[in-house]
Amino acid sequence: MSDFASNLALGFSVAFSWQAMWYCFVGVTLGTFIGVLPGIGALAAIALLLPLTFGMEPAHALIMLAGIYYGSNYGGSTASILLNLPGTPSSAVTCIEGYPMSQQGRAGVALFMTAIASFIGSICGMLIMAIFSPPIAALAFSFSAPEFFSLMVLGMVAASTLASGSPIKGLAMIGLGLILGMVGRDLYSGLLRFSYGVDQLYEGLPLVAVALGIFGLPEVIKNAGQITGRTVEARSISFASMWPTRDDWRRSWGAMFRGTGLGSFFGALPGTGGLLASFMSYATERRVAKDPSRFGKGAIEGIAGPEAANNAAVQTAFIPTLTLGIPGDIVMAIMLGALTIHGIQPGVSVINNHPDLFWGLLVSFLFGNLMLLILNIPLIGLWVRILAIPYWVLYPFIIAFICIGVYSVSNSVVDLYVLMFFGVLGILMNILRFEPAPLVLGLILGPMLEENLRRSLTLYRGSYTVFLTRPISALFIGIAVLILAWTIYGMFRARARRRAALAAGGE
Amino acid sequence: MSRIKAVDILAGGFVVLIGVLAIVESTSFDMGTSRRIGPGYFPFYVGVLMVLLGLVIAVENLWTRTASDFGWSLPPMRSPFLILAAVAAFAVMIERFGMFPSIFVAVFLGSLADTNTSIWQKLTISVAVPAVCVAIFKYGLSLNVDVIRWRP
């Protein structure tokens, strides 16, 4: 317990400085801004702003980048509620109940409740992170190469099969990511692999260019000329109109805590994140509701649960990221990249070797979420006005920021060609219906996976059975196999159901 | 329905192709042994895995089609082309002419992707964006890039 107190004290000493508070504020404000605007996600925003953090202290950089991420989750629901357009993927589910509430003139209540639910989800997620991270990190100390290899395999399997879209396609994108992760100099032989004559790629593919090419450009391409003529009625949302009724409160409490539980679980599971958590929470609320017919017509628990869930997931996603070096979700994968750029080797060492960074970040979540509460309740009118910016004004700025952002990482034109290449790949993946998220996960985990495979095989004389004879490693592989088996079972069941439907149709 | 199959077969073919590329690339490196794996080992096995996954994708839809998969068609090509052209223009121009001209051209090309705005709106935004970028990146964040230069 005294450990815990001293850790928190350390965290406060880092986060409670003017500089740290400033970066936290900048992060959450930018995050809300980006979250409010449909058509640019937190991932693209973080990749975009990563170069700006190069001159900062690692703790400050991480505090700011994390602020963008959880800030965008607060902001994401605003566009969902007012325009029926999700600002971030994980707030898509908020449209279902939020927009009807808005049409009934209850937008203020919906906005207020999402802010409260987000806050409660975040704070609980943060507490879970504070309590569970040290024991997980301690356990991870006994991990050796085979455990890390197996855990990464589990993370990849979970990420590709539990996410949206076809699980097999997800696995294929992990594979493509692994191959792309091999681009550049092989650590052991010093040979250049997959560089196809482009010597500038010896350090590997530039992460910012890849992420913006695959997430940023396709988003702009898809939305340019498409998001038009959206009108937000400039009705002022007064504080009085925001206050929920007693009935609203009564319905929301349980939803928030169930959402927080689901969110914390899926957030901490490597590879899955807020999107899945928010959908699960919505489904749960529908199931436990006494009167499910209210859903789809503005049931407040249908926004309180999912919003608490996705915010809790954002916080707990930091647990595997910072204690094991395995990203909790796709944004965390970029965050790991950011750590590496700042010279901090991700892995079990982060919480132990850089306790200031870990606990400072944790405490900054508290400040950041308090700031977000102020930004999203009294100042909500400001964000509503930002929604009125037309997309034709916005997207040229996004194009320019993407170009400058990529170029400024290392003043390299080659990075811009990498950006274009991945833009084309991103478009192609859209057409062929591949999800881009597993690719980035594979890209970041690839080098670590190969390294741990090499070490495991060298340590255990070339025997693959080591992954099954070491108990913790076997556990991870076992869970991965179960998830795969469950997925395949689901595919067969879908097939059987379709056949039954066809038979019933008399075809 | 035939279109759907076409998409999944293309997707599967794409994955197989990447797998084959990985296998081909891996053959130019030492495989090593499983005790001491060489630089060709990991790419080779990931390549093999990709080929297998690609084959599964190509046939998968035959037994897991869902209603949401229908209605696929090739998206319009105007916006991808113009926005990639914008990035290309920036890449070609940034080291020759500096930040303002390259962003001006990039934004103008990009703005053509939206067919609902007038030419004056497009020109206004093409001047406004580089001006804001210069203010933010050159003067706000002191990025080491010339505003205007002449090295064609």
Residues A66-100 pLDDT 10s: 999 889 888 888 888 887 777 677 777 888 888 88
Beta-carbon contacts below 8 Å between A and B = 193
Chain B nearest-CA distance from A135, in A, is 33
Is the model's pLDDT at B6 over the cut of 90?
A: no
Q: Is the pLDDT of residue A237 over 70?
A: no
Residue B31 lies in a domain: yes
The answer, yes or no, to whether residue A230 has pLDDT greater than 60, is no
Look at residue A231 in the predicted model and tell me its pLDDT.
56
Which of A336-345, A394-403, B126-135 has the weakest average pLDDT? A336-345
Indicate the burial class of A196 (C-beta count within 10 angstroms; 0-12, 13-18, 19 or more): exposed
B34 falls within a domain: yes
Inter-chain touch A416–B99, beta carbons under 8 Å: no
Residue A309 clears pLDDT 50, i.e. is over it: yes
Interface of B with A in 29-58 (CB under 8 A): 29-30, 33-39, 42-43, 46-47, 49-50, 53-54, 56-57
Same domain, B97 and B44: no
Specify whether B82 is located in the same domain as B125.
Answer: yes
d(CA A273, CA A267): 5
Closest in B39, B99, B103 to A188, CB measured: B39
In a domain, B9, yes or no: yes
Query: Is residue B152 one of the residues assigned to a domain?
Result: no
| Residue A492 lies inside a defined structural domain of this protein | no
ipTM beyond cut 0.85: yes
Position B48 in a domain: yes
Of A166, A193, A400, the CB nearest to B103: A400
Q: Other C-beta atoms within 10 Å of B21: how many?
A: 16
Q: Which of B10, B30, B31, B34 to mutate to test the interface with A (most CBs of A within 10 A)?
A: B34
| B145 in A contact zone (CB under 8 Å) | yes
Q: With contacts defined as CB-CB under 8 Å, which chain A residues touch B75?
A: 427, 430-431
Is residue B73 pLDDT above 60, yes or no?
A: no
Is residue A197 less than 8 Å (CB to CB) from chain B?
no
| 3-class DSSP assignment, residue A184 | strand
**Both B60 and B28 in a single domain?**
yes
- Is it the case that residue B66 has pLDDT exceeding 70? no
- Residue-number span of the structural domain to which B86 is assigned: 78-140
Q: Which of B23, B39, B69 is the last residue of a domain?
A: B69
Residues of chain A neighbouring B43 (CB-CB closer than 8 A): 179, 182, 193-194
* Domain-terminating residue out of B49, B69, B89: B69
Does residue A406 belong to any structural domain of this protein? Answer: yes
Domain span holding position A274: 2-140+241-410
Same domain, B45 and B89: no
Candidates A53, A56, A169: best to mutate against B (most CBs of B within 10 A) is A169
B120 touches chain A (CB under 8 A): no
Residue B61 lies in a domain: yes
Cα B102 from Cα A430, distance rounded (Å): 28
pLDDT at B84: 93
CB of A54 less than 8 A from some CB of B? no
What is the distance in angstroms between the Cα of A248 and the nearest Cα belonging to chain B? 35
Is A421 within 8 Å of A195 (Cβ atoms)? no
Calpha distance A442→A450 (Å, rounded): 11
B2 pLDDT higher than 50? no
Which one is predicted more confidently, A423 or A155?
Answer: A423
Q: Which residue in the set A393, A413, A423 is minimally distant from B84, CB to CB?
A: A423
Q: What pLDDT band is residue B69 in, cutting at 50, 70 and 90?
A: very low
B98 interface with A at CB cutoff 8 Å: no
CA-to-CA distance for A423 and A439, rounded, in angstroms?
A: 13
Closest CA to A116 of A372, A379, A384: A372
The answer to whether A237 and A381 have CB atoms below 8 angstroms apart is yes
Residue count (chain A): 507
Query: Quick one: what percent of chain A has pLDDT higher than 90?
Result: 13
Are A179 and B47 a contacting pair at CB < 8 A? yes
Residues B96 and B118 occupy one common structural domain: yes
Residue A287 pLDDT > 60:
yes
Q: What percent of chain A has pLDDT over 70?
A: 93
Q: How far apart are the CA of B77 and the nearest CA of chain A, in angstroms?
A: 10
DSSP character at residue A389: S
Instruction: Answer with the residue of higher pLDDT: A464 or B75.
Output: A464
Q: Which residue of B has its CA nearest to A399?
A: B107
B1 touches chain A (CB under 8 A): no
Residue A25 has pLDDT above 90, yes or no: yes
From the list A156, A44, A174, A48, the residue with the least C-alpha distance to A435 is A174
- Does the residue A202 lie in any domain? no
Per CB-CB distance under 8 Å, the chain A contacts of B121 are: 392
**Is A433–B14 a contact, with Cβ atoms under 8 angstroms apart?**
no
Nearest chain B residue (CA) to A426: B80
pLDDT recorded at residue B64: 52
Please write the tens of the pLDDT for every residue from B93-117.
988 898 899 999 999 999 888 888 8
The answer, yes or no, to whether residue A165 has pLDDT greater than 80, is no
pLDDT score recorded for residue A234? 46
For residue A166, give the DSSP letter.
-
B84 in A contact zone (CB under 8 Å) = yes
Q: Measured between CA atoms, how close is B150 to chain A, in angstroms?
A: 17
- The answer to whether the CB of A80 falls within 8 A of the CB of A86 is yes
pLDDT digits (tens, 9 = 90+) for A330-370: 788 888 888 887 888 777 777 778 888 888 888 899 999 99
Q: What is the pLDDT of residue B29?
A: 83
In this predicted structure, the answer to whether residue B67 has a pLDDT above a threshold of 50 is no
pLDDT in tens, B13-61: 899 999 999 998 888 888 888 778 888 888 899 999 999 999 988 887 6
Q: What is the pLDDT of residue A478?
A: 92
CB contact under 8 A, B35 and A458: yes
Residue A446 lies in a domain: no
**Residue A17 pLDDT grade (very low, low, confident, very high; cuts 50, 70, 90):** confident
SS3 B152: coil
Q: What pLDDT does residue B65 have?
A: 53
Residue A251: what pLDDT?
A: 79
Segments in A84-206 forming alpha helices (H): 92-103, 107-140, 145-162, 167-181
Residue A240 has pLDDT above 60, yes or no: yes
Q: A441: distance to nearest CA of chain B, Å?
A: 15
Boundary residue ending a domain (B21, B38, B69): B69
Of A316 and A197, the one with more pLDDT: A316
Would you say residue B151 lies in a domain? no
The DSSP symbol for A199 reads G
Residues 6+ apart with CB under 8 A from A290: none
Name the one residue in this structure whose structure tokens are 């602020």: A67
Picking from A399, A432, A461, the nearest residue to B86 by CB comes out as A399
**What is the CB-side half-sphere exposure of residue A119 using CA atoms within 13 A?**
19
Residues A376, A74: contact at Cβ < 8 Å? yes
Q: Is the pLDDT of residue B86 over 90?
A: yes
Q: What is the distance between the alpha carbons of residues B21 and A448, in angstroms, rounded to a whole number?
A: 22
Write down the pLDDT at residue A505: 57
Distance from CA of A53 to the nearest CA of B (A): 11
Average pLDDT rounded to a whole number, residues A476-490:
88
**pLDDT class for A232, splitting at 50, 70, 90?**
low
The domain total for chain A is 1
pLDDT at A164: 63
Q: What is the pLDDT of residues A96-117, one digit of tens each?
A: 888 888 888 888 888 888 899 9
Residues B89 and B129 in one domain: yes
- Both B60 and B114 in one domain: the answer is no
Label residue A506 by pLDDT band (50, 70, 90). Answer: very low
**Between chains, do A193 and B145 touch, taking CB under 8 Å as contact?**
no
As a whole number of angstroms, the distance between CA A259 and CA A315 comes to 13
Q: Is the predicted pLDDT of residue B90 greater than 80, yes or no?
A: yes
SS3 label, residue B71: coil
Indicate whether B145 belongs to any domain: no
Tokens of B88: 């290309």
Same domain, yes or no, for B64 and B85?
Answer: no
Nearest CA in chain A to B21: A194
Helix %, strand %, coil % of chain B (to 5): 70, 0, 30
Among A171-175, A427-431, B90-94, name the one with the lowest average pLDDT.
A427-431
* Mean pLDDT score across all residues of chain B: 82
Q: Is residue A93 part of a domain?
A: yes
- Three-class SS of residue A193? strand
The answer on pLDDT for A257 being more than 60 is yes
Q: Count the neighbouring beta carbons within 10 Å of the beta carbon of residue A503.
A: 9
Instruction: Among A325-334, A365-374, A394-403, name the one with the lowest average pLDDT.
Output: A325-334
The beta-carbon neighbor of A179 closest among B43, B54, B80 is B43
A404 to B137: CB separation less than 8 angstroms, yes or no: yes
Is A454 at the interface with chain B, CB within 8 A? yes
Q: Which of A215-224, A236-245, A469-478 has the lowest mean pLDDT?
A: A236-245
Considering the domain architecture, whether residues B84 and B125 belong to the same structural domain is answered as yes
The answer to whether A217 contacts B115, with C-beta atoms less than 8 Å apart, is no
The values of phi and psi at residue A56, to 5°, are -90, 170
Q: Do residues B82 and B63 share a domain?
A: no
Same domain, B58 and B85: no
Instruction: Among A166, A215, A465, pick the best mutation site for testing chain B contact (most B Cβ within 10 A).
Output: A166
**Total domain count for chain B?**
2
Q: Give alpha helix (H) positions in A377-436.
A: 380-386, 391-410, 413-431
Residue A306 lies in a domain: yes
Q: Is A502 on the interface with B (CB under 8 A)?
A: no
